[in-house]
Amino acid sequence: MTTNLTTIHNERVPILPFDLAPVEDTKVNRSAIERRAATIPTRRTVKKEYQAAWLLQAVQNIDLTTLSGDDTPGTVRRLCAKARQPIRPGLLKDLGVEKPVTTGAVCVYHSMVETAVDALQGSGIPVAAVSTGFPAGLIPFNQKIAEIEASVKAGASEIDIVISRRHVLTQNWRVLYDEVKAFREACGDAHMKSILATGELGTLKNVMRASFVCMQAGADFIKTSTGKEPTNATLPVSLVMTRAIRTYYEATGYKVGFKPAGGIRTAKQSLDWLILMKEELGEEWMRPNLFRIGASALLNDIERQLEHFAYGRYASMQYQALG
């Protein structure tokens, strides 16, 4: 990679040649990262009508997700209906919101892609499919490629791939690059999010290095977690990844998106991550084309907080059920 930003690119993130230099030169000060991350939920606050506006923005950043063993076509259709209308119309009217509000995407397993695509037809909401042997990524390589291609054929316009963690843990960066590059090529026009499974990478330095490799290999987004690991999205890990994105942008001019996933369940947490994006990457990275939150229960709490702002009271959780 070059060291100075000479051109700002508005087109899609490309596959760049593998460059080991920024990977080897990576330095991460864990103590400084943890101190900085600790200030985000304590020193920054958003209040009153500004908080309501930020929460509505958070709704539009959500990849509304169902990745359960008991998923059925019925539950996926209900989730898609919620994605189309995540906040009830009466509440939006009382908040003074006139334009439609939808979630950023719906995220499902491959077997539910066609159901989701059908349920979202005409809405403009993309369907994201988890792929490549999600969540462990331990199926044979040719099956990973076939799964990506099948999801794209079924109508998925976003593919969330999982990297092979062993390549990071053994520092086999070229093999990791080749793997992610092959996934990106299999995605075709579908945008690719690379899931690092940061809770299984051992160190923050490994997280930073894996981020660089995935971006070089053409990842449109880098994503923290599958949501299935014991440790998922955290602010320190997210800070490392957003700084990798900023460094990559400064070096190449290409804007890579970021998606924290797993464990983000409250409206307050969604504000923490929006603050992180604004302070580390700028307002452009607060929009759905560059920032998503992988979540299922988060939407319930955001709607409750909006009701409190509008009416001065909290509604029971049963009135914000996802279906």
Per the rule left: phi > 0, alpha: psi between -120 and 50, beta: everything else, 137 is left
Instruction: Name every residue whose Cβ is closer than 8 Å to that of residue 24 and which is 6 or more positions away in sequence.
Output: none
- Measured CA distances, 190 to 90, 126, 129, 134, 265 (Å): 35, 10, 10, 17, 28
Query: Would you say 239 and 274 are in contact if contact means Cβ atoms under 8 Å apart?
Result: no
Strand partners of residue 10: none
User: What's the rounded Cα separation, in Å, for the pair 116 and 154?
Assistant: 10
- Measured CA distances, 79 to 143, 163, 203 (Å): 28, 27, 35
Residues recognised as catalytic: 160, 223, 259
Q: What's the CA dihedral at 200, 257, 30, 247 to 10 degrees?
A: 130
